[in-house]
């Protein structure tokens, strides 16, 4: 087990910068998830940690030792691939023991370790089978088993659940979390699925265009995103971005969305926002759950407004309503019994205590 | 209401069941017809060879029905197999073919692995070069090869012409490019994550090749082996050009040069010799046919 650190890591393919200077410290036993849209450099970063891609600049250290020029086999890492990459001609036992055999581990120890790992993953009865006789979920387990058996310093996962169907993906997600709680090995996990990132990670690293946008716990990222990108990427349905103006009237700050509609800024935020009064390109960021139906009892910073609903999407436990506000499509989450109907007006309630004010010019959350 | 519904239902024309199976039946009939036609067409020469090899000399020369044996005899086979020369040809051919297969596979598997997997400067150009080499016909190659051999003799004093073992050096010029090309295609179809997994597991390039690639690509390797064996077993031009002494000949050339004396064709023995000569590839194909087909098609369809 070990900490991993990346210092100004760069990856260049010919003239294209895929990773543009990544700094990251991963603590021992930590579960880190790299998340971002395709092409953001997350997989490349992982492959550089694995040693499958050479780095074009910077340093990567595992357990305190710089491993820039160390080949993958000497980095003491294990990797789980998206397509499992099981050796098709070997059975599960041979797949799991291949690495140990190459290291000339004594037979008895190999057997003991394979059986222990198989026990953790509940695949003991599959040890004699060939990969093609296994289902997707079972193959995924074997791929994890192959990683666990070697007892490496770091686990690397490269979108391991992308090939599974939706139901199995949720199940395996829990499985991976359980395994990590049992073996406590430092883990770097790459995914494009923000739900996977939120549910698995101790800390999430959001990447975009070869750079780290923000590093933080899942709750940090959700409640205090640093940039518009993170605010929009984390959370489903995504945060609403409504163009707005910040105006000062009678000593109080107000966010104006349209001629008719404006909300007062919560008291606690006045000081933070005052310097932005009159700034162009401001955006109000409000998550769908902070736009709900009106209720008899009103809390501070909550404000009712009338709105014609355009589309209604019943989800069972909640109903999503869509409407246009200040030229932006806005999503709200209302109670299924609130009587939301398409093309009818409805009284909604915005909760501004969790609002975000975003400067669209810099992309920063103010 | 109910009556109306029944009336409409009655007006609908009954479905014609079985039209698909009728189409299929006709397709099958046609395919059987043409397959039989092709089979007859292609099996006619070997059948004629068999008939002729069973005829005594007089019957071959006589004007009788050529498709029938009136006095079947095994004399042709017995004479052939008791001749020392034929057994020498057979032995030469067998040793040459086996050695060529070994040499070719050793070179082309390693070459294909490095061309398919290791990125190095000029690897793509080299791979194309290998294929282009295969496109050059052997009729063009044997003259420069002659030149090279005389150069070897002049500089080292080693005589390469008129030795059966020279074929072990010559045939790979035909087999290595093609086998390498087949293997490149086959290795390229193996997912890249497989060697990355092996690399992380601690395997060297050589271990990745021997423990992962060769077992996974076995159908492809067997296909290449069969091809290689067939080419060296049936090769006619090189041994004809490079060997002359009876003891140094391989089977295809040996049959033609020793059994045709001037304008006297010993047809019975020629046919018997050719039939026996065709046996080893036939036996190999019969056993490894499934592998051969899997090997040739897999590289083509898996991206």
Helices assigned H by DSSP within A34-88: 42-50
Instruction: Please name the member of A78, A85, A103 whose beta carbon is closest to the beta carbon of B194.
Output: A85
Q: What CATH number does the domain containing B140 carry?
A: 1.10.3720.10
Q: Residue B196 and residue A87: Cβ atoms within 8 Å?
A: no
Q: Does A150 touch chain B (CB under 8 A)?
A: yes
In chain B, what residues touch A88 (CB-CB under 8 Å)? 216
What average pLDDT is seen over chain A?
89
Token pair for A175? 């499985």
Q: Does B157 touch chain A (CB under 8 A)?
A: no
Mapping DSSP to helix (H, G, I), strand (E, B) and coil, where does residue A170 land? helix
Q: What is the pLDDT of residue B295?
A: 58
Q: Does A103 touch chain B (CB under 8 A)?
A: yes
- The DSSP annotation for B86-98 comes to HHHHHHHHHHHHH
Q: What is the pLDDT of residues A159-217, one digit of tens each?
A: 988 888 888 888 888 988 988 998 889 999 999 988 899 999 999 999 998 889 999 99
- Tell me how far apart the alpha carbons of residues B175 and B198 are, in angstroms, rounded to a whole number: 30
Q: Residue A87 and residue B193: Cβ atoms within 8 Å?
A: no
- Tell me how far apart the alpha carbons of residues A328 and A273 are, in angstroms, rounded to a whole number: 22
B237 inside domain: yes
Which residues on neighbouring strands pair with residue B265, listed in sequence order?
A: B260
Query: Per-residue pLDDT averaged across A243-258, rounded?
Result: 85
B119 inside domain: yes
Q: Is B288 in contact with B222 (CB distance < 8 Å)?
A: yes
Q: Residue B200 and residue A50: Cβ atoms within 8 Å?
A: yes
Q: Does B203 touch chain A (CB under 8 A)?
A: yes
Long-range CB contacts (within 8 A, 24+) of A12-20: A12/A56, A12/A57, A17/A210, A18/A44, A18/A210, A19/A44, A19/A45, A19/A48, A19/A210, A20/A209, A20/A210, A20/A211
Q: Measured on CA atoms in the order B31, B32, B36, B39, is the torsion positive or negative? A: positive
Q: How far is B189 from chain A (nearest CA, A)?
A: 13
- Tell me how far apart the alpha carbons of residues A232 and A229 are, in angstroms, rounded to a whole number: 5
Q: Measured on CA atoms in the order A33, A39, A40, A41, is the torsion positive or negative? A: positive
Interface list for A 31-60 with B (CB within 8 A) = 50-52
In chain A, what residues touch B207 (CB-CB under 8 Å)? 102
Q: Residue B199 and residue A81: Cβ atoms within 8 Å?
A: no
A274-298 burial code (b ≥16 CB/10 A, e <16): eeeeeeeebbbbbbbebbbbbeeee
Substitution target from A13, A62, A85, A152 for chain B, most B beta carbons within 10 A: A85
How many CA atoms within 13 Å lie on the side-chain side of B133?
Answer: 16
Helices assigned H by DSSP within A57-205: 92-102, 107-121, 136-149, 166-183, 194-200
Complete domains list, chain A, with CATH: 4-225 (3.40.50.300), 240-365 (2.40.50.140)
Q: What is the pLDDT of residue A50?
A: 92
Burial of B97 (0-12, 13-18, 19+ CB in 10 A): buried
B174 inside domain: yes
* Residue bearing tokens 């005389």: B150
- Tell me how far apart the alpha carbons of residues A98 and A87 are, in angstroms, rounded to a whole number: 9
Q: Residue A83 and residue B203: Cβ atoms within 8 Å?
A: no
B122 inside domain: yes
Q: Residue A73 and residue B201: Cβ atoms within 8 Å?
A: yes
Across the A:B interface, residue pairs with CB atoms under 8 Å apart total 56
- Tell me how far apart the alpha carbons of residues B131 and B181 are, in angstroms, rounded to a whole number: 6
B213 inside domain: yes
Percentage of chain A beyond pLDDT 90 is: 41
Q: What is the pLDDT of residues A17-63, one digit of tens each?
A: 888 888 999 999 999 999 998 888 899 999 999 999 889 988 999 98
Q: Is B205 in contact with B109 (CB distance < 8 Å)?
A: no
Q: Is A289 in contact with A333 (CB distance < 8 Å)?
A: yes
B18 inside domain: no
pLDDT by residue, tens only, chain B of 303 residues: 444 444 444 556 666 666 678 788 889 999 999 999 999 999 999 999 999 999 888 888 888 888 888 888 888 888 888 887 888 998 999 999 999 999 999 999 999 999 988 878 888 888 888 888 888 888 888 888 889 989 999 999 888 888 889 999 889 988 999 899 889 888 888 888 888 999 999 899 899 999 989 988 888 888 889 889 999 998 898 898 888 888 888 988 988 888 887 777 888 888 998 888 888 888 888 887 776 666 555 544 333
Q: Does B215 touch chain A (CB under 8 A)?
A: yes
Q: What is the pLDDT of residues A138-157, one digit of tens each?
A: 898 899 899 989 888 999 99
- A1 has a pLDDT exceeding 90: no
Token pair for B105? 């596979």
Q: Is A29 in contact with A63 (CB distance < 8 Å)?
A: no
Of the candidates B216, B229, B296, B270, which has an alpha carbon nearest to the alpha carbon of residue B86?
B270
Q: Give, as one character, the DSSP assignment of residue A45.
A: H
Q: How far is B44 from chain A (nearest CA, A)?
A: 43
Q: Does A81 touch chain B (CB under 8 A)?
A: yes
pLDDT category at A107 given cuts 50, 70, 90 is: very high
Q: Give, as one character, the DSSP assignment of residue A132.
A: G
Q: Residue B194 and residue A87: Cβ atoms within 8 Å?
A: yes
Q: How many domains does chain B have?
A: 1
Q: What is the pLDDT of residue B300?
A: 40
Q: What is the pLDDT of residue B18?
A: 64
Neighbouring C-beta atoms of residue B216, cutoff 10 Å: 20
Q: How far is B284 from chain A (nearest CA, A)?
A: 24
Number of H helices, E strands in chain B: 16, 2
Q: How far is A88 from chain B (nearest CA, A)?
A: 7
- Tell me how far apart the alpha carbons of residues B61 and B272 are, in angstroms, rounded to a whole number: 16
With CA atoms as reference, the chain B residue closest to A51 would be: B200
As for the ipTM of the complex, it is 0.81
The residue segments making up the domain with residue B270 are 75-301
In chain B, what residues touch A53 (CB-CB under 8 Å)? none
Angle between helices B192-201 and A92-102 (to 10 degrees): 50
Could you tell me the strand order of the sheet in which A356-359 lies? A262-264, A252-256, A240-249, A282-286, A356-359, A364-365
Q: Is A207 in contact with A230 (CB distance < 8 Å)?
A: no
Q: Is B162 in contact with B245 (CB distance < 8 Å)?
A: yes
Q: What is the pLDDT of residue A235?
A: 87
Instruction: Please name the member of B200, B211, B215 whose beta carbon is closest to the beta carbon of A73.
Output: B200
* Residue B96 CA from chain centroid, whole number: 15
What distances in angstroms separate CA B265 from CA B205, B256, B257, B271, B275, one per listed residue? 56, 9, 10, 11, 16
Substitution target from A49, A89, A110, A145 for chain B, most B beta carbons within 10 A: A89
Q: What is the pLDDT of residue B12?
A: 65
Q: How far is B242 from chain A (nearest CA, A)?
A: 44
């Amino acid at each position: 087990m070990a900490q991993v650190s990346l210092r100004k890591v760069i990856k260049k393919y010919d003239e294209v910068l895929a990773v543009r200077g990544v700094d990251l410290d991963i603590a021992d036993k930590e579960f880190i998830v790299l998340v971002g849209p395709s092409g953001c450099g997350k997989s490349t970063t992982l492959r550089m940690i694995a040693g499958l891609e050479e780095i074009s600049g910077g340093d990567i250290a595992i357990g305190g030792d710089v491993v820039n020029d160390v080949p993958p086999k000497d980095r003491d890492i294990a990797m789980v691939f998206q397509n499992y990459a099981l050796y098709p001609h070997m059975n599960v036992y041979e797949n799991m023991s291949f690495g140990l055999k190459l290291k000339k581990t004594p037979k008895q120890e190999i057997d003991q370790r394979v059986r222990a790992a198989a026990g953790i993953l509940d695949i003991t009865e599959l040890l004699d089978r060939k990969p093609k006789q296994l289902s997707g979920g079972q193959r995924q387990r074997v791929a994890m088993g192959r990683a666990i058996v070697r007892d490496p310093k770091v686990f690397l996962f490269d979108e391991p659940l992308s090939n599974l169907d939706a139901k199995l993906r949720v199940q395996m997600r829990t499985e991976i979390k359980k395994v990590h709680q049992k073996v406590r090995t430092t883990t770097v996990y790459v995914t494009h699925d923000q739900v996977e990132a939120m549910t698995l990670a101790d800390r999430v690293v959001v990447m975009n265009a070869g750079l780290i946008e923000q590093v933080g716990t899942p709750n940090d990222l959700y409640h205090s995103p640093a940039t518009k990108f993170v605010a929009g990427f984390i959370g489903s349905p995504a945060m609403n971005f409504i163009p707005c103006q910040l105006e000062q009237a009678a000593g109080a700050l107000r966010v104006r969305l349209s001629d008719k509609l404006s909300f007062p800024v919560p008291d606690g935020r006045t000081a933070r926002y005052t310097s932005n009064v009159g700034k162009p390109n401001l955006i109000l960021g409000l998550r769908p759950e902070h736009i709900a139906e009106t209720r008899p009892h009103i809390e501070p910073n909550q404000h009712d407004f009338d709105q014609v609903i355009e589309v209604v999407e019943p989800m069972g436990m909640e109903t999503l309503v869509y409407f246009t506000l200040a030229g932006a499509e806005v999503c709200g989450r209302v109670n299924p019994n609130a009587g939301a109907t398409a093309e009818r007006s409805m009284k909604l309630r915005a909760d501004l205590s969790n609002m975000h004010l975003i400067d669209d010019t810099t992309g920063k959350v103010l | 209401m109910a009556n109306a519904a029944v009336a409409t239902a009655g007006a609908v024309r009954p479905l014609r069941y079985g039209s698909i199976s009728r189409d299929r039946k006709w397709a099958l009939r046609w395919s059987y017809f043409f397959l039989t036609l092709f089979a007859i067409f292609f099996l006619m020469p070997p059948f004629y060879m068999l008939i002729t090899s069973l005829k005594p000399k007089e019957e071959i020369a006589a004007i009788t029905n050529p498709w029938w044996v009136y006095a079947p005899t095994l004399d042709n086979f017995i004479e052939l197999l008791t001749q020392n020369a034929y057994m020498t040809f057979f032995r030469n051919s067998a040793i040459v073919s086996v050695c060529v297969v070994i040499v070719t596979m050793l070179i082309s598997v390693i070459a294909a692995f490095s061309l398919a997997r290791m990125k190095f400067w000029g690897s793509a150009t080299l791979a194309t070069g290998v294929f282009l080499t295969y496109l050059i016909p052997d009729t063009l190659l044997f003259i420069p090869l002659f030149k090279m051999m005389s150069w070897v003799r002049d500089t080292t004093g080693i005589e390469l012409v008129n030795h059966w073992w020279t074929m072990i050096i010559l045939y790979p010029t035909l087999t290595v490019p093609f086998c390498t090309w087949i293997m490149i295609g086959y290795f390229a179809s193996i997912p890249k994550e497989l060697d990355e997994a092996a690399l992380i597991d601690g395997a060297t390039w050589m271990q990745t090749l021997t423990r992962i690639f060769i077992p996974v690509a076995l159908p492809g390797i067997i296909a290449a082996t069969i091809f290689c064996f067939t080419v060296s077993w049936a090769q006619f031009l090189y041994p004809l050009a490079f060997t002359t002494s009876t003891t140094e000949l391989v089977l295809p050339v040996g049959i033609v040069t020793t059994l045709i004396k001037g304008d006297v064709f010993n047809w019975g023995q020629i046919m018997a010799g050719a039939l026996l000569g065709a046996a080893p590839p036939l036996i190999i194909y019969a056993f490894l046919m499934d592998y051969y087909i899997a090997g040739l098609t897999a590289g083509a369809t898996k991206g």
